Structure 1
Amino acid sequence: MSALLKNVTNCIWHAFDSLQNKAAVVHKSKLKVLTANIGTLLDLYGVEKGLDHFKSSQELSFDEFRYYLQHEVFSSLPKTMTLPVIRDYEKKISEVCWLVCRKNLVLRDKPIFSDDSVLKLFRIYCLLADLVQDADNTEHYVVVLQPSEAGIVAEQLVHCLGLRWDAADWDALGTSIGHFKWAAFLAVLEAKYCCDQQLHSKALVEAVDEIYDVFIEDIIKKGYLFKRGYLLPTMREYWCVLQPCALTYYKSSSQKEQCGRINIDEYCSVEASAGEGKIQRFQLVTPDRTYEFGTQDHKSRLQWISAVRQATAVSGGAEGYQRKARACRRGAGARREREARDARARLQHEVRARLAAEAQAQELAELAQQDNKKLEELKSAQTELEKLLQEEIQAKRDEEIVRALQARVLAEEWERREELERLQEEQNRMLEEERLKRKRFEMLQAEKEEQYREAEKRLKELEQEKQRLDDELKAAQEKINKTELTAKALHVQLRDMNPVLRNGERVRRAISFVPTTKSSSDTLIDVRAIRHVMAMDDDEKV
């Protein structure tokens, strides 16, 4: 896992630095031991055997060793691991590296911190430091701590010891030293802030433990809290430790007997709640259940609520809270550096602009001198021009007299022109009226022609209708004639037939009495009339 290797790179570099020779390389046999120990801590066995076949040389530089660790050791770990697991691996690897480089890192003339405190300060230093190339030899690396980051650790230590922090003094010290290496960082902490003989060794241990909890364990806040029981609704007091991923509570501040652990993520929330008595209560709402806590006063409740909200905000991801804060500080520092560079660039631009303005001012002064000379020349020319001006004035007066005469002539001409324009307007008006009359006449003529065409069209339609009706009448008459001929033929046939002729005679007589109706299609005989005539005939016979 590349994130884990990135977190422990500074510790591994210190171990590598204690093993390297003057050429900044380490023999593979020494690196095998270090690699085997790291692999054992990660539950990976036999990872050191690949060093024999890695590179043809028997010595490796730090870049080569880090490449081997990344691709042959840490790549075997799961891609996603929880933050407690990563923190546990970091602690074990740091302790192994400390065992390798401890002999070189704890050597000093007047030690003040205990070895355990020095190990904790070493882990804090590796957390906040940067691995950069050495200024003297670009092929080598060195771990250095920025003055701002070192100042944060020193300030925390001073506050834990109950001393007064002087920021101006630290800024001056950081400016003089520059980047802090491990030996300089430890020497400054011991010689400047912990050399007071009144400080007890136990106070130093507690102060180092306090800042170790803040930077390494990512403890945001700890202290006593009242917690409501799950089965019994009583409020019991516990020692609570708040981290970005969990809120752990113990029986006492020694943190030896853990009573419970509440996982915290971005889905958790905290809010104040009303309660009875002197206990100031608040609730921690998780996806599983809701926990109720209480403090002795309102101020402590606000502090715990703020701390829990901060923990939920930074709970996501596999990176610790202090590493995220360090990245934010680096980003802010980079922005400040960019702003400073921009300010310097603006200052240089202003300096160049000022120099350019001064040069321009000098050029303007020279131009002013030249203008003064030209001014004197212009004054002499002005006197000559004034004489010419008087002559010109006299000429203008004469010209004005002539222009007055011309103006009188032009006025008369203008009056005649206005008269002509008036006559022309009247003529145009009369022409316009004549044009309108002609247009109306043309419109009337067009309407009459249209009516004439429609009348002709209607006459043709009437003639066609008359011809059609004549044709229909002629056809009807022909059908009537055919019907009469048919009736006569039927009469002859009926007369020549069997005794039913008498009935036929009756039918004929009936038909002769029945009128026929003429239509455009056929001649119809009223059957009911025929039957009526035949009935009358029978009555006569009777």
Structure 2
Amino acid sequence: MELRAELLKSIWYGFTALDLEKSGKVSKSQLKVLSHNLCTVLSIPHDPVALEEHFRDDDDGPVSSQGYMPYLTKYILDKVEEGAFNKENVDELCWTLTAKKNYRPDRSTTTVLPEKDAFRLWCLFNFLSEDKYPLVMVPDEVEYLLKKVCMAMSIELNCVELEDFTSQDVVQRNGFSVWGFLEMMNSGKITRGMDKDITSMAIEEIYREIVGDVLKEGYLWKKGQLRRNWKERWFTLRPSSLAYYSGEDRKECHGNITLDGNCCVEVLPDRDGKRCMFCLKTLSKTYEMSASDTKQRQEWTTAIQTAIRLSGNSAKRRLDKEEELQRLRALQEEREHKLAELEVLREAQKQAQVLQEQDEQKRREQHEQLHRTLEIQLREAEEARASMQAEMVLKEEEAERQKKRIHELEEMQKHLKEALQLEIKARMDEEAFRYAQTGLLAEEEEKMKALMALQEEQEEYIVKTQREKQELKQEMETKSRALDEAQRQLETVRANRYRVDQDVVAAQRKLRQASTNVKHWNVQMNRLMRPIGPGVCLLIIQFNPNNGWMAHLSIYLPRCTRCWLWREA
């Protein structure tokens, strides 16, 4: 498949993703961005002036795909050089644009493929689809791709589930679109609950094999050319080259060995602590490598020999690919021819079915008309019968009502007789009760008079009692006031008595003091009772116990010139 055709498939998805209104037209500003990004990933210089010049007569309106195609061919695709860019970067750019618009899986389910796997399936779909737009795949090609994926996962393809998808009318008419294909893969019915890592590895393997044209990949130990030390590298074998990287992510490429008819591969004996060794000889260098086991060495040597053989037959290999594509196209055309014949048969069958339905409709209408006539006649007969039955029922109901009325009248007459007897008895009882009531009324009147007299006596007694109570209350108030006065006098007497008691106590205290003084002075007097010498003054003290006075008498004998007499309380 030519490189330009591969690029156009991816670019077509990017262009349609920018066509939001699905009118087949995209604005010039969006095409400028798309063109600039394409030039960047294709490693070619971008000329924005050329785009303006190309569409200078269409400044106001959008740009159609037919108008953009000449510019894309002349200014971008014609400048592309094979090997100067990474095709995967172009695919990633176009996938990013189209996935935002068209790829919206249900993330809540556990069977949804990772974004990287969906991208690789999208690339595989584009690689295997025909150069007809919109891009589709016939069910046979889808089955071929799914068989390879299932084989890589070591499971068998579930043909029943695949048949459910391929039997849909849209698929039968138009084939598989890439979004229908991804929806089928995300449903989990094809992978049947396999682990996502296993599914991812299988998809990557098929992607590398078909899109990347990889014959074999894996880790090998390689001996350096300068330091002669051994390092483990990730090798990728293609029909014309053997590249080795630092890891399986292939981010850092350490070398690329070109394969041609002058190269050969030989098995080496074990040495330097390495086993399962072999070497790849070119015209300029010899590369020594070591596999993990004998089986891996055999697989690698066989694959390298196949790549060397294919490198000399690249033109033949391209022709084989073209023949394979032609065969697939023939299969698709044959399938389309069969689908066209099937469509013609369907149209004929549809017309026959329409005629049959018309005849059936006429027969149905005649049958319905006859049925309606019979229904009308039957309805009239039923109505007449119902009318007669209703009339008989009415007469029976009338007779029943008359019979019931007679019975009710007889019952009423019986009840009237009983009521008359009861009324006579009630009148007699009423007369007796009236006589009894008259006696009771007379007796009640006598008792009422006695009660009135008793009530008058009671009222007089109450008045008398209230008057006595008022007098008693006044007497009690008088006695209360007298009692209060007596209590005040008693308090006064008690106070006077208390003062008298205090005076008595004071008098007694004074009396005791006076007695003490008498005793003291008696002692003093007794001491003084001795002979008085000449010129001696004699002091005489006399105490009167009646009035508490003491008399002090000083008597001087002739030699005394004066005497003193005083009283002291």
TM-score w.r.t. structure 2 length? 0.49
The residue matched to 1:14 in structure 2 has which SS?
helix
The residue matched to 1:240 in structure 2 has which SS?
strand
Amino acid at match of 1:305: T
Q: Greater shift after overlay, 91-100 or 230-239?
A: 230-239
Q: Equivalent residue for 2:340?
A: none
Cα distance, 1:59 vs. partner?
Answer: 3.3
Cα distance, 1:34 vs. partner?
Answer: 1.2
Gaps of 5+ in 2: 337-569
Asked whether the equivalents of residues 11 and 126 of structure 1 are also in contact (C-alpha less than 8 Å), the reply is yes
Cα distance, 1:318 vs. partner?
Answer: 9.9
Q: Equivalent residue for 1:59?
A: 62
The residue matched to 2:255 in structure 1 has which SS?
strand
Q: Equivalent residue for 2:130?
A: 130
Cα gap change, 1:337 to 1:14, in 2 (>3 Å): closer
Select the structure of larger CA radius of gyration: 2
Give the distance between the partners of 1:47 and 1:5, measured in 2 at CA: 22
Asked whether the equivalents of residues 279 and 294 of structure 1 are also in contact (C-alpha less than 8 Å), the reply is yes
Q: Equivalent residue for 2:264?
A: 270
Give the distance between the partners of 1:100 and 1:48, measured in 2 at CA: 24
Aligned residue runs from structure 1 range 121-520, under 5 A: 121-132=121-132, 141-166=133-158, 170=162, 174=166, 177-178=171-172, 179-193=175-189, 196-197=192-193, 199-230=194-225, 237-250=232-245, 252-253=247-248, 255=250, 258=253, 260-276=254-270, 279-315=275-311, 327-333=322-328
Cα distance, 1:107 vs. partner?
Answer: 1.4
Q: Equivalent residue for 1:39?
A: 39
Q: Equivalent residue for 2:444?
A: none
1:309-353 residue CA offsets vs partner (Å, 9 max, x unmatched): 33234447999x9x8775342134357689999xxxxxxxxxxxx
Give the distance between the partners of 2:333 and 2:98, measured in 1 at CA: 37
The residue matched to 1:15 in structure 2 has which SS?
helix
The residue matched to 1:71 in structure 2 has which SS?
helix
| Identity rate, percent | 22
Cα distance, 1:231 vs. partner?
Answer: 5.4
Amino acid at match of 1:37: N
Cα distance, 1:263 vs. partner?
Answer: 2.0
Amino acid at match of 1:221: K
The residue matched to 1:131 in structure 2 has which SS?
coil
1:353-380 residue CA offsets vs partner (Å, 9 max, x unmatched): xxxxxxxxxxxxxxxxxxxxxxxxxxxx
The residue matched to 1:130 in structure 2 has which SS?
coil
Q: Equivalent residue for 1:14?
A: 13
Cα distance, 1:181 vs. partner?
Answer: 0.4
Cα distance, 1:93 vs. partner?
Answer: 2.3
1:389-437 residue CA offsets vs partner (Å, 9 max, x unmatched): xxxxxxxxxxxxxxxxxxxxxxxxxxxxxxxxxxxxxxxxxxxxxxxxx
The residue matched to 2:24 in structure 1 has which SS?
coil
Asked whether the equivalents of residues 221 and 243 of structure 1 are also in contact (C-alpha less than 8 Å), the reply is yes
Cα distance, 1:120 vs. partner?
Answer: 2.4
Cα gap change, 1:148 to 1:71, in 2 (>3 Å): same
Root-mean-square deviation (CA, aligned residues, Å) is 4.0
1:65-93 residue CA offsets vs partner (Å, 9 max, x unmatched): 2221111222234xx533xx34x1x2222
Give the distance between the partners of 2:101 and 2:241, measured in 1 at CA: 37
Cα distance, 1:143 vs. partner?
Answer: 0.8
Aligned residue runs from structure 1 range 85-96, under 5 A: 85-86=84-85, 88=86, 90-96=87-93
Cα distance, 1:297 vs. partner?
Answer: 4.5
Give the distance between the partners of 2:152 and 2:242, measured in 1 at CA: 23
Amino acid at match of 2:92: E
Cα distance, 1:221 vs. partner?
Answer: 0.7
Cα gap change, 1:170 to 1:284, in 2 (>3 Å): farther
Q: Equivalent residue for 2:99?
A: 102
The residue matched to 2:242 in structure 1 has which SS?
strand
The residue matched to 1:267 in structure 2 has which SS?
coil
Give the distance between the partners of 1:324 and 1:151, measured in 2 at CA: 24
Give the distance between the partners of 1:48 and 1:244, measured in 2 at CA: 41
Asked whether the equivalents of residues 5 and 70 of structure 1 are also in contact (C-alpha less than 8 Å), the reply is no
Q: Equivalent residue for 1:81?
A: 82
Cα distance, 1:125 vs. partner?
Answer: 1.9
Give the distance between the partners of 1:288 and 1:171, measured in 2 at CA: 55
The residue matched to 1:142 in structure 2 has which SS?
coil
Asked whether the equivalents of residues 261 and 311 of structure 2 are also in contact (C-alpha less than 8 Å), the reply is no
Give the distance between the partners of 2:158 and 2:190, measured in 1 at CA: 14
The residue matched to 1:206 in structure 2 has which SS?
helix
Give the distance between the partners of 1:340 and 1:92, measured in 2 at CA: 34
Task: Verify: 1:113 aligned to 2:107, yes or no.
Answer: no
Asked whether the equivalents of residues 54 and 71 of structure 2 are also in contact (C-alpha less than 8 Å), the reply is no
Q: Equivalent residue for 1:29?
A: 29
Give the distance between the partners of 2:160 and 2:195, measured in 1 at CA: 27
The residue matched to 1:113 in structure 2 has which SS?
coil
Cα gap change, 1:185 to 1:327, in 2 (>3 Å): farther
TM-score w.r.t. structure 1 length? 0.51
Give the distance between the partners of 2:51 and 2:294, measured in 1 at CA: 60
The residue matched to 2:212 in structure 1 has which SS?
coil
Counting matched residue pairs gives 324
Asked whether the equivalents of residues 218 and 236 of structure 2 are also in contact (C-alpha less than 8 Å), the reply is yes
Cα distance, 1:126 vs. partner?
Answer: 1.9
Amino acid at match of 1:261: G
Cα distance, 1:118 vs. partner?
Answer: 1.9
Cα distance, 1:185 vs. partner?
Answer: 0.8
The residue matched to 1:225 in structure 2 has which SS?
strand
Give the distance between the partners of 2:314 and 2:38, measured in 1 at CA: 20
Cα gap change, 1:115 to 1:317, in 2 (>3 Å): farther
Asked whether the equivalents of residues 246 and 262 of structure 1 are also in contact (C-alpha less than 8 Å), the reply is yes
Cα gap change, 1:283 to 1:193, in 2 (>3 Å): farther
Q: Between the two structures, name the one with larger relative contact order (CA 8 Å, sep ≥ 6).
A: 1
The residue matched to 1:209 in structure 2 has which SS?
helix
